[in-house]
A and B are shown apart, each in its own frame.
Chain A
Amino acid sequence: MIAHLLSVEDLSAEQIGVVLDTAEGLKQIGRRPIKKVPTLRGRTVCNLFYEDSTRTRISFELAAKRLSADVINFSAKGSSVSKGESLKDTALTLQAMGVDAIVVRHWASGAPQQLTRWVDAKVINAGDGWHQHPTQALVDLFTIRERRGHLEGLRVAAVGDLFHSRVARSVVQALVTMGAEVTLVGPPTLLPPRSEHSSVETWGAAFSHDLDAVLPKTDVLYLLRVQRERMAQQFFPTIREYARLWGVDRDRLARLPEEAIVMHPGPMNRGVEISADAADAANSVITEQVANGIAVRMSCLYLMLGGEETAWPAVQRR
């Protein structure tokens, strides 16, 4: 049984496989007229959100409700947190309320891990700072596997702001764990610092600054959001130059092999990392990811809270 879901780094290929296989079965529930099973009846899941989020929070809420768990939503705004309550005191309060799982989104890297020191509940990281967003990575893997039938040996190019992105970090690690060949593409300023020397050892991935050279050898093009504020911080000179060198437009899409898929964790910046017409081409996968998001999160909750018979294989820290 897995104690907490904090980082993709903690998951073995076998464990990821179990999540994805379980999600496949659970996805069927979303197609039924009554989208609910009693599996987690009597369990309480708390969504503890220190950062604004619509899609992830709703996705977790629906996932928990479809498994019949009781759900509490606790957001930093308009709660004791806005009155200055510390993370620890909030944790102790939830502990006293006897919640079974805490789904936490936090602006600080590491906050979910800190939470595990103060509560007995299972902690699920729904995104922390620049660090990790493991369920998003699992959703993306599920979508890719559904489309391509397998993950091992797939050539994946992740393009954009890889340094400030918890999604990128999680997806890349998960894909590498599953045997995909990953290339990180972007300006050196937005790649992890000093990693030019150690990309393979640390990330299990190759680095490139030349998108056009990578595209023809790509099965999955994974685009990351580039925040406009990074320009003000001099990570690159202008949006225009960024788009010219690393943005994806229709011409670049044409360089991809025919069966390649384009993914974006959203929300998209049209005209920055992706042009408007290319975005429409990518959109079909994105809406699919919403439905898959619920199924994969149901799978995680089920495997973590469903009792011994549903347990994930034992954690093997790599």
Chain B
Amino acid sequence: MSGFTFVGVRLVDPAGGRDETTNVAVDGDRVVAVGAGHRGARIDGAGLVCAPGFVDLHVHLREPGGEDAETIASGTAAAAAGGFTAVCPMANTDPVCDHAGVVEQVLRLARDAARCDVHPVGAVTRGLAGEELAELGAMAAVGVRCFSDDGRPVRSAQVMRRALLYARTWDGIVCNHAEEASLTEDAQMNEGDLSALLGLAGWPHEAEEIMVARDLILAHGVGARLHVPHVSTAGTVALIRAAKARGTRVTAEATPHHFTLAEDQARSYDPVYKVNPPLRSKDDLEAVREGLADGTIDAIATDHAPHPPESKEQEWSQAPPGMLGLETALALTMTSLVRPGVLSLQAAVAALSTNPARCRDIGGHGGPVEPGAAANLVVFDPARPWTVDPAALRSRSRNTPYAGMEVVGKVVHTVLHGRFTLRDEQLTGLS
């Protein structure tokens, strides 16, 4: 008999409206049964949660071009260890993912080496320069659904408007890094009393909100789909809440670091805490949590940004922004949101899986977990305490800001199209 069954797991499946203790049986690449009975090998799921595999809308796998920091193999291994079954790598590779050739290269590398599905994000403009539109159609033809210049905001309102409008051809999504660059020249951390005390140039929250407001107005006007990445300020949460209320087609994500860490980490001058947008005030952090709680923010995305040690062991102002996220996302969601009662477990799974899959039209992920569905699943222990150890990470880089932090929530198994990518917390071999 082939296949396997998670026996006695708590199935949390927002898309299917389920939260119950049951058995989930998998055969081939499909879920074949949910309910009593089992098929194939029995895998004890007592005390564990089974959910649709997590989907990360915002990662950096660094390949091609940045293989010293991460590769598609190492980055997707980290994803599997974190319970993810699909990730969307950003276009800021070298060469830039601004034409179909690079998309195909990434997809081919993923076919050979990835431990999760890879849905590349295409650039909005050539070379991420913000001037000429990239060939969105050619990239859409090989499966790209979302376009973004990643950390480079599309500065021109005209280019942004054209991109939103043009992407409607495929009902595509434009994601714009929200930063009004004239306000953030050489900015190093959140602007406020602390940046003034530390002598670091400030990144004012207005710079994010001005850009989000502009993009919401543009997207509303042309009826296009906008995705707001890494919401970091209270003002941004309020803008998106108001836009959703008036029917703008907008989705939004927040990162674990923006709902877990605040700007005071910069007191250490350790660039592991440097990120863009920066860690904000405690009030902003609370607003991001509220935005997740009331559904203003749809998804939790990691902005997993690996950097080699030598680039983070520099003066704060010289070090590049960005931090790892894939292997700690579930734990921080459990620790910072579920345990304090900000999100129910159901809402946490929705934010990690169901909603992001919908935000990006990623089929086969996010549930419902029902017979016939693609078997993309995660099984985790929602309460298990553990301590983040950078040396134990599967990522090629070590720039986690959570080193030594005690968290709860551990991924035990990850199943991708019916096969284990992580079993009993160990990565499985690729075949």
- Please pick, from B191, B310, B318, the residue contacting A108 in the complex, using a CB distance under 8 A: B318
| Residue numbers in B under 8 Å from A106 (CB-CB) | 315
A110 close to B197 (CB less than 8 A): no
Q: Which of chain A's residues 115-134 have a Cβ closer than 8 Å to chain B?
A: 128-132
| Given A109-B269, A113-B269, A193-B313 contact (CB < 8 Å) | no
Q: Which residue of B lies closest to A113 (CB)?
A: B269
A220–B195 Cα gap in the complex (Å)?
27
B191 close to A194 (CB less than 8 A): yes
B198 close to A109 (CB less than 8 A): yes
What is the distance, in angstroms, from A78's C-beta to the closest C-beta of chain B? 20
| Given A108-B316, A109-B317, A192-B200 contact (CB < 8 Å) | no
B316 close to A202 (CB less than 8 A): no
| Residue numbers in B under 8 Å from A86 (CB-CB) | 310, 313-314
Determine which residue in A86, A108, A111, A131 has the highest number of CB atoms from chain B within 10 A of its CB, and name it. Answer: A108
Q: Using a Cβ cutoff of 8 Å, how many contacts connect chains A and B?
A: 68
A169 close to B315 (CB less than 8 A): no
B196 close to A202 (CB less than 8 A): yes
Q: Which residue of B lies closest to A192 (CB)?
A: B196
| Residue numbers in B under 8 Å from A130 (CB-CB) | 199-201
- The answer to the question of A198 belonging to the interface, with a C-beta cut-off of 8 Å to chain B, is yes
| Interface bits B276-319 vs A (CB < 8 Å: 1, else 0) | 00000000000000000000000000000000001001111110
The range of chain A's interface size is 20 to 34
B313 close to A192 (CB less than 8 A): no
| Residue numbers in B under 8 Å from A87 (CB-CB) | 314-315
Q: Which residue of B lies closest to A111 (CB)?
A: B315
| Residue numbers in B under 8 Å from A163 (CB-CB) | 196
- The answer to the question of A195 belonging to the interface, with a C-beta cut-off of 8 Å to chain B, is yes
A110 close to B318 (CB less than 8 A): no
What is the distance, in angstroms, from B203's C-beta to the closest C-beta of chain A? 11
What is the distance, in angstroms, from A141's C-beta to the closest C-beta of chain B? 19
| Residue numbers in A under 8 Å from B193 (CB-CB) | 192, 194-195, 198, 201-202
A86–B313 Cα gap in the complex (Å)?
8
A110 close to B316 (CB less than 8 A): yes
Determine which residue in B197, B201, B313, B317 has the highest number of CB atoms from chain A within 10 A of its CB, and name it. Answer: B197
| Interface bits A295-311 vs B (CB < 8 Å: 1, else 0) | 00000000000000000
- The answer to the question of A65 belonging to the interface, with a C-beta cut-off of 8 Å to chain B, is no
- The answer to the question of B320 belonging to the interface, with a C-beta cut-off of 8 Å to chain A, is no
What is the distance, in angstroms, from B329's C-beta to the closest C-beta of chain A? 28
| Residue numbers in A under 8 Å from B315 (CB-CB) | 87, 106, 108, 110-111, 114
What is the distance, in angstroms, from A8's C-beta to the closest C-beta of chain B? 11
| Interface bits A189-205 vs B (CB < 8 Å: 1, else 0) | 00011110010011000
What is the distance, in angstroms, from A100's C-beta to the closest C-beta of chain B? 23
A109 close to B313 (CB less than 8 A): no
B313 close to A88 (CB less than 8 A): yes
| Residue numbers in A under 8 Å from B316 (CB-CB) | 108-110, 114
Q: Which residue of B lies closest to A194 (CB)?
A: B192
- The answer to the question of A166 belonging to the interface, with a C-beta cut-off of 8 Å to chain B, is yes
B310 close to A129 (CB less than 8 A): no
| Interface bits B313-331 vs A (CB < 8 Å: 1, else 0) | 1111110000000000000
| Given A108-B315, A194-B191, A169-B200 contact (CB < 8 Å) | no
A166–B200 Cα gap in the complex (Å)?
11
Determine which residue in B191, B192, B204 has the highest number of CB atoms from chain A within 10 A of its CB, and name it. Answer: B192
| Interface bits B195-230 vs A (CB < 8 Å: 1, else 0) | 111111110100000000000000000000000000
What is the distance, in angstroms, from B5's C-beta to the closest C-beta of chain A? 51
What is the distance, in angstroms, from A295's C-beta to the closest C-beta of chain B? 27
A202 close to B191 (CB less than 8 A): no
Offer 9 A-B interface pairs, CB within 8 angstroms, sorted by A: A86-B310, A87-B314, A88-B314, A109-B198, A114-B315, A129-B199, A130-B201, A131-B200, A198-B193
With A9-B197, A108-B315, A163-B196 already in contact, 9 other A-B pairs whose C-beta atoms are closer than 8 Å: A86-B310, A108-B317, A109-B199, A109-B269, A114-B269, A193-B192, A193-B195, A194-B191, A195-B193
- Which 6 A/B pairs are nearest by Cβ-Cβ distance? A110-B269, A131-B199, A192-B196, A130-B199, A108-B315, A109-B199
